[in-house]
Structure 1
Amino acid sequence: MQTRVFVVHALPELASRFFKKVDETGMMEDGYVWIITEGLTSRLHYLDHKDESMQGVLGVMSYIPKDSKMDFDDIGTLETETSLLPLIRNFRFDGLTGDFNVINGTLQASVYQIVNVIGNGEKPIGFWSPKNGITKKLNDQTNGLKPVTWPGDTHVIPKGWRTPVRNKNRLRIGVQ
């Protein structure tokens, strides 16, 4: 079988050029699935969306609700800067979305948001957490995702494979 599900992990500039080539070869049509990793999804705003070559791509990114940040007024005033640094670099509490954990200054996400690249932005379509798996809404047991617009501007869920056929327009990828 010919695979039609691809995972892309790249910097925004490279991903933008890559998806233009993918579109040129006809691989952004119905039947294909493109998934981008958190590193690229969280930087979608750096991409040039004018060409719309990423329409229908799915992405995952850490989910941190805007209204559940810690109230820093409760910490109080610290006498020295060195007292605050260890608190910020290694910090943990149980928030609305689960475990909020910072290790060595990096947030360890326990909930991921799944988005669909549509137009010049992304549309939230669901969440993934270790506790509930893939759900439409956060802290809900409703399995699945909200409607997804797949490449080719279709809502039909792709099979992810196809019987091989001869095609002059093959996408070739070189890794250096």
Structure 2
Amino acid sequence: MTMQTIVFIVHMLPSLGSRIFAKAKSIGMMEEGFVWIVTDGLADFFDTFEQSVMNSMKGVLGVRPNVLRTKKLESFRVRWKNKFQQENSDIVDAKLNIFGLLAYDVTVALAMAVEKSGVGNFKFDKQVANNVSTDIEAIGVSENGPNLVKALSSTRFIGLTGDDCFVDGQLQSLAFQIDNVNGYGTRGIGFWTPEKRVLMKKLMTSSTSNDNNSDLKPNLGPIIWPGDSTSVPKGWEIPTNQKKLHIGVPMKSGFSDFVKVKFDNETKKPTVTGYCIDVFDAVMKTLPYANLGMIVPIKDNRKKNAWVFLKPLTWDLWVTSACFFVFIGFVVWVLEHRINEDFRGPVEYQVGTSFWFSFSTIVFSQRERVISNLGRFVLIVWC
């Protein structure tokens, strides 16, 4: 029975992502039966990867916000890149992602709301006198907040990311574009819009689409999965007696709204909550796969002691290195003790000097001189 796996990469730097896919291909995780889904952290950089990287990513699905290429957007990208290059000359081929575009649009919307509300002077309530842990918590509350929120909620304009508007103080979500890596580049296979909530081969506007979502059926272009397969992977074969997948969750303090792990005092079982957990559970519920068993925290049970430096090397290698220390020290002593005063003296002194000499060559500059040409040759080979 063949095990099949679905891998999600939520957000990752392009440099790290390219190395992960190269490693995944080398260990056979880009073959038939595997599914790789990446978000805009990597999908936005598909067109910048080298050919070797794209070959290792063949069959990957990328999901990213759909932003139409308008003259306004392209003009802004050029001006931003020129300004960024002037201030950061050491960074080449910098690219503005979706978060930068949204931040710009939100800033414009806030400026429009300030003008609309007629706020001329910003006054802040006195901050609460307590020991705050971050600078954000130390910021006072604006007295003009309600007016700004009201003006911002009614603000609507055409920004860099499209028709931007706020509903209940929230910027509306963009449509998502789904791309499939084919080894030479990418090709779009469909879209998903927050209004229709249905996968579509073509992006439908409000004027061309039916308002009744029940009449719409999922319709995507053909997908080439890893291993040049056109059949949709099933995930785990059913029935299966394999062990269920355990998802590790790091236990870290701070940002508990994203991930929070709490242990029950009686049952000693963990309860994992937070935004990231909710998103993961929602995705898994919509996928027709049973590879999910439970979510558990990661605990570092490895013993930490003063001998931890021995672990990177095996005992065989440590013993071999020690033998070479003795051997090199003996060889140098044989070649030097008759003509070099540094290797003369009592027996115990000569033995200690020889061992110390072979060890010091790889740690720091040795004190003893090497006179014979054969001794120098052995030292070069040893170093």
Between Structure 1 and Structure 2, the one with more strand by share is 1
TM-score (norm 1): 0.69
Distance in 2 between the 1:87 and 1:138 partners? 22
* 8 A contact 1:62–1:113 mirrored in 2: yes
User: Is 1:93–2:157 an aligned residue pair?
Assistant: yes
Residues 45 and 160 of structure 1: CA distance in aligned 2, closer, same or farther (over 3 Å): same
SS at match of 2:56: coil
> 1:10 is matched with which residue?
12
1:53 to 56, 59, 62: 56
Residue from 221, 227, 237 that aligns with 1:146: 221
Q: How many residues align?
A: 147
Please identify the structure whose Cα radius of gyration is greater.
2
Partner-residue secondary structure (3-state), 1:161: coil
Alpha-carbon distance, 1:160 to partner: 1.9
In structure 2, distance between residues paired with 1:146 and 1:13: 29
Give, in angstroms, the shift of residue 122 of structure 1. Answer: 1.0
Alpha-carbon spacing, 1:131–1:44, altered in 2? closer, same or farther (3 Å): same
Counterpart among 28, 36, 39 of residue 37 in structure 1: 39
Question: Relative to 1, partners in 2 of residues 1:148 and 1:87: Cα closer, same or farther, differing over 3 Å?
Answer: closer
Q: CA deviation at 1:131?
A: 1.2
Q: CA deviation at 1:3?
A: 5.8
Deviations 1:87-122, CA, capped at 9 Å, x for gaps: 772334369x974359xxxx9751110000112311
Alignment of 1:49-128 (within 5 A): 49-51=51-53, 52-67=55-70, 89-91=107-109, 92-93=156-157, 99-100=163-164, 109-128=173-192
What is the CA–CA distance in structure 2 between the aligned matches of 1:23 and 1:13, rounded to whole Å?
Answer: 16
Q: 1:3, 1:100 → 2: CA distance? A: 41
Matches of 1:101 and 1:14, distance apart in 2: 35
Return the offset for 1:69: 5.0
Amino acid at match of 2:63: V
- 1:172 maps to none
**Structure 2: how far apart are the matches of 1:54 and 1:7?**
13
User: Structure 1 residues 128, 90: closer, same or farther in 2, change over 3 A?
Assistant: same
- Larger helix share, 1 or 2: 2
* Aligned counterpart, 2:30: 28
> Contact between 1:101 and 1:109, CA under 8 Å: does it hold in 2?
no
Q: Which residue of 2 aligns with 1:82?
A: none
Kept in 2, the 8 Å contact 1:112–1:129? The answer is yes
The answer (yes or no) to whether the contact 1:13–1:47 under 8 Å persists in 2 is no
TM-score by length of 2: 0.34
Check 1:3–1:87 CA distance in 2 against 1; reply closer, same or farther (3 A cut). closer
CA RMSD of aligned residues (A): 3.4
Q: Match of 2:233?
A: 158
Structure 1: how far apart are the matches of 2:18 and 2:8? 14
Q: 1:5 to 1:48 in 2, by over 3 A?
A: same
Write the distance in 2 (CA, Å) between the matches of 1:108 and 1:122: 27
Relative to structure 1, the CA distance from residue 164 to residue 153 in structure 2 (aligned partners, 3 Å threshold; closer, same or farther) is farther
Contact 1:98 1:111 in 2 (8 A): no
**Identity fraction in percent:** 41
> How far did 1:20 drift?
0.9
Q: Summarize deviations over 1:29-50 as a string: whole Å, max 9, x none.
A: 1111100111110112332232
Higher relative contact order (CA 8 A, sep 6+): 1
Q: Which runs of 5+ in 1 are unaligned?
A: 73-85, 166-174
State the shift of 1:135 in Å. Answer: 1.2
- The residue identity in structure 1 corresponding to 2:64 is M
